[in-house]
């Protein structure tokens, strides 16, 4: 359509057409577009070369492969946790049972079941904790020979002993 015809059928459009181009580009845009396109093409070519080095459809299936591996690891972890969760209580229970069996014999414990040697050994090891009066009471049939007492006691030692045994009152009373 010629300009004159345009003006006759569409004067507003004809008026606007005389105005300058109102779309702008960034400074220097047309100077760089050539290199941008060439660089993009070269980058694509390199990417294609790299893709030739990997199996076909590798990137299509990688997500599924990774998710499957993660799920397998999680299942293994769950199994381990389950084992740990139940094995520890079982181990504790077994230990308790073992200890219980060791210290809780099926046969009733009596004085006769204890070996004499064991009794002597116990007394020897715990003599200091047994009150002398108790020993005297227990072994009342044993008469001591005064010659066994070779140690000479001083009056002070005697008094300390009596005080210790709570017998000083008896002395005072007498």
Residue 7 CB coordination number (10 Å):
16
Binding piece for another protein, criterion CB under 8 A, among 15-23, 83-91, 154-162, 165-173: 15-23
Binding piece for another protein, criterion CB under 8 A, among 25-33, 63-71, 110-118, 139-147: 25-33
2, 4, 25, 134: residue in contact with another protein (rule CB under 8 A): 25
91 contacts another protein (rule: CB under 8 A): no
43 contacts another protein (rule: CB under 8 A): no
27 contacts another protein (rule: CB under 8 A): no
Residue number, 8 or 82, with CB nearest to another protein: 8
Give whole-number Cα distances, 131 to 24, 111, 136, 137, in Å. 114, 21, 9, 10
46 contacts another protein (rule: CB under 8 A): no
Handedness of CA 124, 125, 127, 128 (dihedral sign): positive
| 168 contacts 162 by C-beta, under 8 angstroms | yes
Angle of CA points 85, 87, 89, to nearest 5°: 80
Instruction: Tell me the two tokens of residue 32.
Output: 């760089």
Residues near another protein (CB under 8 A) = 1, 6, 9-13, 16-17, 19, 21-26, 29-30, 33-34, 36-38, 40-41, 44
């Amino acid at each position: 359509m010629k300009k004159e015809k345009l003006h006759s059928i569409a004067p507003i459009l004809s008026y606007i057409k005389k105005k300058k181009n109102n779309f702008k580009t960034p400074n220097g845009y047309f100077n760089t577009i050539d290199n941008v396109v060439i660089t993009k093409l070269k980058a694509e070519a390199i990417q294609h070369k790299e893709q030739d080095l990997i199996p076909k459809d590798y990137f299509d299936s990688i997500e599924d492969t990774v998710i499957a591996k993660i799920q397998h690891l999680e299942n293994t972890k769950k199994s381990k946790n389950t084992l740990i969760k139940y094995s520890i209580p079982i181990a504790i229970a077994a230990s308790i049972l073992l200890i219980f069996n060791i210290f809780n014999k099926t046969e009733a414990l009596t004085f006769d079941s204890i070996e004499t040697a064991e009794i002597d050994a116990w007394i020897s090891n715990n003599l200091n904790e047994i009150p002398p009066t108790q020993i005297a009471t227990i072994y009342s049939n044993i008469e001591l020979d005064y010659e066994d007492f070779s140690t000479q006691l001083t009056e002070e030692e005697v008094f300390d002993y009596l005080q210790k045994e709570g017998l000083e009152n008896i002395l005072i009373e007498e």
